[in-house]
Amino acid sequence: MAQPHTSRFRTVGDGSGIERSDNFTREEVALALRNRGMPLEGLRYPITPSGMHYLLVHFDIPRVDAAAYRLRVGGLVEHEISLSLDEIKARPAVTMPVTMECAGNGRALMTPRPISQPWMGEAIGTAEWTGTPLAPLLHEAGLRPESTEIVFTGADRGVQDDSVHLYQRSLTVAEATREEVLLAYAMNGQPLEPQHGFPLRLIVPGWYGMTNVKWLTSIEAIDHEFSGYQQAEAYRYQTESGEPGEPVTFIQPRALMAPPGIPDFLTRTRLVEAGRVTLSGRAWAGREQVTRVEVSTDGGETWSDAALEAQVGEFAWRGWSFEWDAKPGSYELSVRASCATGASQPDEMWNLQGMGNNARQRIEVVVEERPA
Amino acid sequence: MAQPHTSRFRTVGDGSGIERSDNFTREEVALALRNRGMPLEGLRYPITPSGMHYLLVHFDIPRVDAAAYRLRVGGLVEHEISLSLDEIKARPAVTMPVTMECAGNGRALMTPRPISQPWMGEAIGTAEWTGTPLAPLLHEAGLRPESTEIVFTGADRGVQDDSVHLYQRSLTVAEATREEVLLAYAMNGQPLEPQHGFPLRLIVPGWYGMTNVKWLTSIEAIDHEFSGYQQAEAYRYQTESGEPGEPVTFIQPRALMAPPGIPDFLTRTRLVEAGRVTLSGRAWAGREQVTRVEVSTDGGETWSDAALEAQVGEFAWRGWSFEWDAKPGSYELSVRASCATGASQPDEMWNLQGMGNNARQRIEVVVEERPA
């Protein structure tokens, strides 16, 4: 509603110290309206309902005619292969839960803010993907010895930085032939919906979302470093424009909390009733295992270990929970994950494209004896 | 990406005259990330794929245990009724396509901009809802003669303008007992996903989205005007704060175009190849029939009639199309619908809460001989 908020929930322009300095542009908002985050109460589900899963679509969602559809496997192979959707579905099938996250997740929390899809942490989801492993198909095609990379091409086409292109990404042969890499045609037991890549998409567990090419039409073996826009220009860890930077690859550790209590509509500040509150959420780290989740109820001053559940799958998140004795007052809740490699979550980070920002989540909470 | 755009697509801060005056707040963006619009290429589908349908959730998506679920029908009735989900599903079932639209659709295009969910026109969708008609259930309960309104209560609870409440809306007895009003448990042939109201929601064809109460737990007959927050404070056509205003009710006429050509990632400006281009989209008007759709390719100076398809259903949109001979240059495409009552779409409009803004859509297009 249009009325300014007062009282317990701070908002911009109310004199509480929050500045209207965010200055999000119309273009960022238009992207946020097209793409979708997972509302964080969705963390309660081990498998995200399909319509709640995050979604990023670079260009338009293409319409692909399933009856006319062919997947082409070519390039530096002994035998070019062309398969219909039915032929792909007739191959050996695997179903696997995979936690997927957008590489730009958390971008809008960086200062200064890189201008693109303005994710604040909700670009995640875990689905059960069903498909056929890619490696046997590449072996049947017969990769020539000089092959070094596999290029995946989607049916989606558009313009980015004045480059008109189909969406394309590559993987090294070693990565592309790992056994968990799938050509997926079903999500949570149903055919892919158009926005998730119908009729076929790539699933590369452990890698950020951009790797999981949707509306896949072509797989091509090459003998050089792929230099397409979405590989060589986009999805780089850069600190300055013009420098090549490092490629964005694996999902970094992150824990998220399902915000407790009830929300204020506009500010999403949480109102919690005093007493014992179970805080809970999920944590993941791409190919790595999350070995520790810590919770802070004092804005990151002190941390306590959360209890961990089993991983939902080898490449899927695990639940965590923490009992909090909530007393009346205002709090910043926070949570952070770390994994066996020692990698954890920073308080903040920045890079030019807003990639891989796994800075810890912060949730504003107001605790009252009897909220009304 | 972080690099500033130049050349053919205008963007903020590039000297092209677009000012960074939009100044969207972090709160608006956070709402846009939780809620979701239908990407407008979704206009190609007569029935919107479930995961592409627009979604607005005021508070949090509640978790409802289907096994323990009961719908209570009470208040001023002769016989209070309590039904399990299975009992509701065992009643006579109807499946109906319904075009649903958020009352706040287009809010963010108003000047000055009311601060709330910042829709720009994409808060729409058409689903096939399956459920049991409400009227026979009310008749079985036996509405007492003094009943004037029916109050619908959802399981979602939160704070808005410092009012802590469950989401509730009312309808007059005459509106609630119309034959098309359904208690729906399936969307596009599948059980409702949590975010669309699992296990049961109200469907009131022709009314804006706020009427279609999700996670429905209680139906109560009363003998006075319901004064809950979401009825008496929110969803009002107001011009000044504090005035009661008029209630927001039926969906107003609107036509939308699926943007032609291919998009620029950030600005979403469209790049179109010169030649004959079929422009198409859909139009709707709540309970009314759209009788005319007009297209302008010169920013609203001149208008031409589009060809109309049949309505997808009595309460669902109809397709339209228009052949455009696109010559190189920059264009603002626009479309507007009108219906038998004479109601049409304005060039712009404004009210305090940003309700019912059916101002005509505008799409920026760059036509080139051979885009590359």
Answer whether residue A261 shows pLDDT above 60: yes
Q: What is the pLDDT of residue A3?
A: 39
Q: Which residues of A touch B248 (CB under 8 A)?
A: none
What pLDDT is recorded for position A83? 98
Residue A9 lies in a domain: no
What is the spatial distance between Cα A363 and Cα A297, in angstroms, rounded to a whole number? 9
List chain A residues with CB under 8 Å of B239.
none
The pLDDT assigned to A21 comes to 52
A30–B194 CB contact, under 8 Å:
no
Contact: B61, A41; criterion CB under 8 Å: yes
Min Cα distance B263 → chain A (Å) is 5
In this structure, the number of other CB atoms found within 10 A of the CB of residue A289 comes to 15
The answer to whether A265 contacts B159, with C-beta atoms less than 8 Å apart, is: yes
pLDDT of residue A9: 60
Does A164 lie in the same domain as A128? yes
Asked if residue B98 and residue B146 are part of one domain, the reply reads: yes
Averaged pLDDT for residues B81-99: 98
State mean pLDDT over B109-121: 95
Chain B residues whose beta carbon lies within 8 Å of the beta carbon of residue A120? 29-30, 33
Span B303-307, mean pLDDT?
A: 98
A300 is a domain residue: yes
Question: Per-residue pLDDT for B8 more than 80?
Answer: no
* Residue B266 to residue A5, Cβ atoms within 8 A: no
A30 with B120: Cβ contact below 8 A: yes
Measured between beta carbons, the chain B residues lying within 8 angstroms of A371 are 164
Query: Among A359-363, B1-5, B228-232, which is the least confidently predicted range?
Result: B1-5
Does a structural domain hold residue B6? no
Residue B165's nearest CA partner among B212, B221, B230 is: B230
Contact check, Cβ <8 Å, B24/A27: no
| A176-213 residue pLDDT tens | 999 999 999 999 999 999 999 999 999 999 999 999 99
Residue A39 above 70 pLDDT?
yes
B3 domain-assigned: no
In a domain, B175, yes or no: yes
How much is the pTM? 0.94
pLDDT digits (tens, 9 = 90+) for A262-303: 999 999 999 999 999 999 999 999 999 999 999 999 999 999
Last residue of a domain, one of B224, B247, B270: B247
Instruction: Give the nearest chain B residue to A351 (CA atoms).
Output: B2
- Is residue B192 located within the same domain as residue B279? no
Same-domain status, B241 and B271: no
3-state DSSP assignment of residue A68: coil
Of B64, B105, B56, B90, nearest to B183 by C-alpha is: B90
Residue B205 included in any domain: yes
Same domain, A39 and A173: yes
Q: Are residues B30 and B143 in the same domain?
A: yes
Q: Is pLDDT of B16 > 70?
A: no
Give the CATH number of the domain where residue B115 resides: 3.90.420.10
The answer to whether B262 contacts A157, with C-beta atoms less than 8 Å apart, is yes
Of B247, B274, B297, the position where a domain reaches its end is B247
Q: Could you tell me if residue A190 is inside a domain?
A: yes
Nearest CB partner across the interface for B52, out of A157, A193, A234:
A193
Domain coverage including residue B349: 254-368
Which structure tokens are listed for A136?
A: 């046997």
Q: Do B240 and B288 lie in a common domain? A: no
Judgement on whether residues B261 and B341 belong to the same structural domain of the protein: yes
pLDDT mean over B140-162 = 97
CA dihedral B202, B204, B210, B213 (to 10 degrees): -10
Is residue A6 in some structural domain?
no
Please give the tally of structural domains in chain B: 2
Q: CA dist B79 to A178, A205, B25, B176, Å?
A: 64, 56, 50, 18
B-chain residues within 8 Å CB-CB of A10?
none
Tell if the CB–CB gap between B32 and A34 is shorter than 8 Å. no
Q: Judge if A291 and A146 occupy the same domain.
A: no
Q: Are residues A214 and A76 in the same domain?
A: yes
Q: Answer yes or no: do A178 and A318 share one domain.
A: no
pLDDT classification of A6: cutoffs 50, 70, 90: very low
Q: What is the pLDDT of residues B199-225, one digit of tens each?
A: 999 999 999 999 999 999 999 999 999
Separation CA B38–CA A17 (nearest Å): 35
In chain B, which residues have their Cβ closer than 8 Å to the Cβ of A115?
A: 2, 266
pLDDT of residue B318: 98
E strand or H helix that includes residue B150: strand B149-160
| AA letter at A346 | P
Q: Residue B115 and residue A18: Cα distance in Å, rounded?
A: 16
The mean pLDDT of chain B is 94
Among chain B residues, CA nearest to A259: B60
A149 and A218: one domain? yes
Residue that is last in its domain, among B226, B247, B268? B247
- The arithmetic mean of pLDDT across residues A55-74, rounded, is 97
Separation between Cα atoms, residue B303 and residue B296, nearest integer Å:
5
Question: Residues of chain A with pLDDT > 70: what percent?
Answer: 94
Task: Give the pLDDT mean for A294-322.
Answer: 97
Between B235 and A372, residue with greater pLDDT: B235
The number of C-beta contacts closer than 8 angstroms across A and B is: 235
Q: How far is A359 from chain B (nearest CA, A)?
A: 17
Q: What is the pLDDT of residue A19?
A: 42
For residue B12, the model assigns a pLDDT of: 47
Taking an 8 Å cut-off on Cβ atoms, the answer to whether A49 and B5 are in contact is no
Start-to-end CA distance of chain B, whole Å, equals 19
Pick A23 or A9 by higher pLDDT.
A23
Q: How many CB atoms lie within 10 A of CB A308?
A: 16
Q: Which CATH number does the domain housing residue B298 bear?
A: 2.60.40.650
- ipTM of the assembly? 0.94
Report pLDDT for A2. 37
**CB contact (8 A) between residue B158 and residue A262:** yes
A101-130 core/surface letters (b: 16 or more CB in 10 A; e: else): bbbbbbbbbbeebbbbbbbbbbbbbbbbbb
pLDDT of residue A301: 96
Give how far B51 is from chain A: nearest CA, Å: 4
